[in-house]
Structure 1
Amino acid sequence: MTTTSAFPALDGVLFFPVTPFTAGDRVDIPALKQHVDERVAAGPGGVFIGCGTGEFHALSAGEYADVVRAGVEATAGRVPVLAGVGGPLGHARECVAAAVSAGVDGLLVMPPYLVRGPQDGVASYIEAIAASTDLPIIAYHRGSAQLTLPTVERLLDLPTLMGIKDGVGDVALAQQFVRAARTHGRSDVQFFNGLLTAEASQSAYRAIGIPLYSSAVFAMAPEIALAFYSAYEAGDEVRQDQFLDEFFTPLVRLRDTTPGFAVSLIKAGVRLGGLEVGGVRPPLTSPTHAQVEVLAELLSTGRRIAA
């Protein structure tokens, strides 16, 4: 089959920016540009703007357009920029148009919200988004858009499918997806570990042929994320274990105390780093003062290990 040859080249730590809000609950574009510019300078392999960590679910179509445009401008062509699209199909199509206008390099197709359709409907949803643009797309396997092997085999017929991001954690199923791509001759399709705090599970994903992962930690502490990635690339299991035992595993425990903390804690960590990005929008909640103190101690430990 004919596939797209101009897929963005992604490598290294993948950066998912937060979306800053002012005290008046408006998107803070200057803070967002500073956040993206500083983190891109640290050396990620790509920027995923307006996605889960960026509170895509809480943005209006107009806010989304502003966020994506600011992300592209702040990145300034240094690495590829992909934007999240999803939710109601009509809204997703509006987001596609805004992302295309902003000049992104690709799209991460997130799930439709509230409703859960059969596999034919999930595939049709992703196909409908793909049909609205020539941009490469990544299908996000999670939530109300969990994929089966037959659905992945169907999606592999999309010439603009550049990747599948796994947010479910079924490693055996993920391995079947990887093997299906090989069988279909789709060596151009990339697979990503998109689990929350992906570093905690990445060794298992690498073993099944999925070397890429998203790092929410990079948004708040790039030095920690990069130091772990360096140990991961070098096969330094002793150093990886130290990060896992003293930083990532305690971070996961703190994260799991409250629904939505996969975003809320990252935003708190960015604030601890000196950039005022505001809180999260409902239905998410911000961590308590005591929880922020625990996070600060963990970040101090992580930075000590990184140094």
Structure 2
Amino acid sequence: MKSLLFKRKSKSDFLFDLFNYSILTIGMLLILYPLFFVLIASFSDPNYIYSGDVWLFPKGFTVDGYQRIFNDASIWIGYGNSMLYATLGTLISVSFTLLAAYPLSRKDFVGRNLFMWFFMLTMFFSGGLIPTYLLIKDLGMINTIWALVVPGAAGVFNIIIVRTFFQSTIPDEMREAAFIDGSTNTNFFFQFVIPLSKPIIAVMVLFHVVGFWNGFFDALIYLNEEVKYPLQLVLRNILVQNQVNSNMMVDVESYAAKLRVTELIKYGVIIVASLPLLILYPFLQRYFVKGVMIGSIKG
């Protein structure tokens, strides 16, 4: 059957498919190869990396970089901080997004257009960095976890996506039937809306986890103590400023050797920092496409 379908294709269709697959393959390689290079470089002797000999397989195989990373306390502290910030921040942000989007999706909510206009206004205008910093300071949140998870807890773009999902997925007839049976707005939201919204919740969880896990700018601005730094800020110091913890270099004497070890640690920390997201995505992937498409194009 497959051979018959294949034979029915015209020459132009075949060339079109060949062109598309070629472009997609090239695009895939352009995206995947840098990640693959970082992986093999983290196991390679830095001398081979500098000379350009590492491009497909590790050379001078070594796990020295990972040993130094896993033996350093600052990496684990940053890891723990990032896990805490991502977990708490995602919980708060997804909760606020759902609670804001549901009433805005209700046709019987008086003034919903006014609230929507007010929310959308914040997408185009903001106070800027200095007023925001002064506000965070006046609220007493400087050098606390709340400075990282509260200011951006409710993203308007995400609220619009979730609101559209509710409008296209939760029919008014279901709500009316539930109210006839004695349900309240709160019971309907938690017993019907939330269970039916797993795809969009999974999308929001993935969006926020990635955002919090990869974020370092807010921590750079609002945190003063290194013990509270997330992993991405520790990684930034290593990549941008070459600030490798001295505990990692305790047995390295020459400057050239320190540069080689620093290079190993850079690649290793990138891989270590990416692992949680690589592990999380497969569990949410089956909901991801469905949630994005319904929340984006229906309405």
TM range (shorter): under 0.3
Structure with higher RCO (Cα < 8 A, 6+ apart)? 2
Structure-2-length-normalised TM-score: 0.19
Structure-1-length-normalised TM-score: 0.19
Going by fraction, where is helix more abundant, 1 or 2?
Answer: 2
Going by fraction, where is strand more abundant, 1 or 2?
Answer: 1
